[in-house]
Structure 1
Amino acid sequence: MARKKGQEESQNGSPAWMTTYGDLVTLLLCFFVLLFAFSTIDAKKFEAIMQSVQGSLGVLKGGQTINETPFVNEALNEEQTTKELQELEDFKKLQEIIEKYLEQNGFQNEILVDLEPRGLLLRFKDNVLFDSGKADLKGNANETLVFLSDLLKQEEFKEKYIRIEGHTDSDPIINIRKYPTNWELSVARASNVVRFLIEQAGLQPDRLSASGYSQYHPIAPNDTDGNKGKNRRVDIVILRSDFVKSEPYY
């Protein structure tokens, strides 16, 4: 019995419904690709899903990791940028609160508050915290340090690290056996501020560090009494997270 030409082509090729099915699957694939393109990737969830899939399929780790893909790197960069912006806003908020307090208490000309690359700087003239040639905190300095410590206990600042830095002018120490050079004086002043913040104000010790720089980090030439007064200072630096990571002792 002779077969028709159309019947022979139908039997030799795929069934007609496969063409429609293939078109449908292709359209679905395009649809999900578009959804993925418009979505925002959560890097941590994406990595967890991929690790789960690898484990269920018995895929061993090796070769190029999922962390090196452009999408994940972009998501991680966005997350890091968001954290940095939030930290900057927190520092600005803290700066405004401190400046308002200083103005209300008449310290606006004695204590500088400034945002710098390593964090929020509070610069105390030495006569605000100490008498000349001494490292014992003055009585009226306690209130300011307690106010500052209360701010640093708040939720957005409770994990910030704080460095206390002592500085002097270039004049040598005269007739003070307890502090034979400016090194001892600068270190003692920074250490006493740290002790007060721990023992009296209740800050966690692991958040604090003390440094003494003697006369070797001036902010003005030591050529006039006014400039020497600028160099005699104690700096309290509330450190940015990125700066802390670069420090070897944290």
Structure 2
Amino acid sequence: MKSEAIVQAEEVRATQRMKRNQAWQIVFIALFTSLLAFFVLIITMVELEGSKPKRDYQRLVNNLYQDSVHLKKQLGLEWLHVENTLSKGVRFTLDESDLAKQDLFAPARARVNPRYLPYINRFVLFLDELDLPTYGQRHQKLVNSILRPDEKFQVTIRVEGHTDASPLAKTALYRSNFELSTFRAYAIMSLLKLYTGLPDHFFAIAGYGSFRPVTNNPLEPANRRVEIYLVPQLVPVEEGP
């Protein structure tokens, strides 16, 4: 039988070995963490360097957003909501609760409520002040970073139409909510085109039917709406005038 002194000595040596092992593990973990952080940093730097056009595009969108917010305040357009979506450009929506106290569109109709025409005219003034045809020239350095051969830069005015989820009657003017939403987008686009005098290639439309409601109840009138986007983009040169 081992004496008590021998047992205590073995316990001390075992404790020392354990401490040495723990110290080595701590050093190994610290070294591995440092190497991992170094490689992550290198990879991140490479990715950032390789995505410069993407970052410059996002700067263009952000510049357009900042200019829009500043101009909105300057013109006193409190009813105009401005949002930077990054991927889709700058989104503009009309707050109907602050405007005519009526819906922009009647149920199953694409005709714009005449009470909204003064606000649309104010938005046209807003677009005129932004001077979209020369926007790329004012940010030429960023545009040059994303520009590719046989392409040109422009800010497209994209109008997206929406409906509520009410089914259309068989006698309705439109065959589906998709068609109705597209005609709503077209109605607003036509007014903007008429009042701004911009060429056709500055405009685009889309209809989403009732698939993108903004309220919990998709039947509510607030879903009968349009959203307007200003989208910095590259287009083929041959599509221009």
Question: Where on the TM-score scale, by shorter chain, does this alignment land: which range?
Answer: 0.5 to 0.7
From 87, 91, 114, give the equivalent of 1:121: 91
Contact 1:151 1:157 in 2 (8 A): no
- In structure 2, the residue matched to 1:145 is 120
- In structure 2, the residue matched to 1:213 is 208
Q: Which runs of 4+ in 1 moved over 6 A?
A: 76-80
Q: Which moved more, 1:120-129 or 1:134-143?
A: 120-129
Code of the aligned partner of 2:91: L
Contact 1:90 1:156 in 2 (8 A): no
* Unmatched segments (≥5 aa) in structure 1: 1-72
Q: Which has the higher contact order (CA 8 A, sep 6+)?
A: 2
User: Are 1:231 and 2:223 counterparts?
Assistant: yes
Contact 1:162 1:239 in 2 (8 A): yes
Code of the aligned partner of 1:231: N
* Unmatched segments (≥5 aa) in structure 2: 1-47, 97-101, 134-153
From 123, 128, 136, give the equivalent of 2:111: 136
Contact 1:164 1:236 in 2 (8 A): yes
Contact 1:128 1:141 in 2 (8 A): no
Contact 1:125 1:234 in 2 (8 A): no
Cα offset, 1:188, TM superposition = 1.0
Code of the aligned partner of 1:214: G
Contact 1:166 1:213 in 2 (8 A): yes
Cα offset, 1:186, TM superposition = 0.7
From 187, 195, 211, give the equivalent of 1:192: 187
Structure possessing the higher radius of gyration over alpha carbons: 1
- In structure 2, the residue matched to 1:50 is none
Contact 1:162 1:236 in 2 (8 A): yes
Write the distance in 1 (CA, Å) between the matches of 2:54 and 2:128. Answer: 24
From 67, 75, 79, give the equivalent of 1:93: 67
Contact 2:168 2:176 in 1 (8 A): yes
Write the distance in 2 (CA, Å) between the matches of 1:212 and 1:83. Answer: 26
Cα offset, 1:209, TM superposition = 0.8
| Residues 82 and 133 of structure 1, relative CA distance in 2, 3 Å threshold | closer
Write the distance in 1 (CA, Å) between the matches of 2:57 and 2:172. Answer: 49
Contact 1:125 1:229 in 2 (8 A): no
| Residues 77 and 229 of structure 1, relative CA distance in 2, 3 Å threshold | same
Percent of aligned positions that are identical: 22
Contact 1:129 1:141 in 2 (8 A): yes
- In structure 1, the residue matched to 2:196 is 201
- In structure 2, the residue matched to 1:174 is 169
Deviations 1:111-167 (CA, angstroms, capped at 9, x unpaired): 532221221111246855323332112223222223223332346532310111111
Secondary structure in 1 matching 2:206: strand
| Residues 237 and 129 of structure 1, relative CA distance in 2, 3 Å threshold | same
Write the distance in 2 (CA, Å) between the matches of 1:86 and 1:184. Answer: 33
Q: TM-score, normalised by structure 2?
A: 0.55
